[in-house]
Amino acid sequence: MVDKQQQHQRGDAAGPTGRNRTSTRVLRVGCALLPKKVTRYLTPKMMETAALHGILLQQVDYTRSLLTQGTFDVILHKLRANPAWEHFLHEYKAAHPEVCIIDRLDRIRALHNRATMLTPLKGEGITLAQPQQQQQQQQLVRIQAPLQVEIPEGATEAD
């Protein structure tokens, strides 16, 4: 009799969708994060949970060419664009056009001022309405900014 551990090792245990997996193919995800974010996101629990679902999370060094760091199915990065990193991503994508890159560099916009980011939500906020269904009252949802305190650069405790 084959137990679940042996099935998992062979790759034919039921996957997260309940369907049988017929191969041991692992989805390799290269994660490019700033050092301060690595400890927050690539935790042992996160890596273990991902592995249970056939996903290998691997930290990549964003200061070196991706071509020298292995083969990835997905590259997930949470970095602002800079010329070297942008070059490494384009270089890797050219060599591996099948790779999925999350977030695309051309879609990233630097957040210059966190204090103004929620300005549209201040005061009355924004009211959203669900599409009206037959014989039902329209539901409204109000979205407002949470209370924020802005501390000017250079401020001290005495301020």
What is the mean predicted confidence (pLDDT) over 154-158? 77
The DSSP element (H or E) to which 142 belongs, if any, is: strand 140-143
* Environment class of 158 (CB within 10 Å of its CB; exposed 0-12, middle 13-18, buried 19+): exposed
Contact 95, 67 (CB under 8 A): yes
- The model's pTM is 0.56
d(CA 100, CA 96): 9
pLDDT of residue 2: 38
Q: What is the DSSP letter of 139?
A: P
**pLDDT (tens digit, 9 = 90+) per residue, 94-134?**
999 999 998 777 766 655 566 666 676 777 777 777 666 66
For residue 8, pLDDT over 70 is answered with no
pLDDT of residue 117: 66
d(CA 34, CA 59): 10
The values of phi and psi at residue 67, to 5°, are -60, -25
pLDDT of residue 40: 86
**pLDDT (tens digit, 9 = 90+) per residue, 139-148?**
677 777 666 6
Say what percent of the chain tops pLDDT 90.
Answer: 33
pLDDT of residue 91: 94
pLDDT of residue 113: 63
Mean pLDDT score of the chain: 76
**pLDDT (tens digit, 9 = 90+) per residue, 57-92?**
999 999 999 999 999 999 998 887 688 998 999 999
pLDDT of residue 58: 94
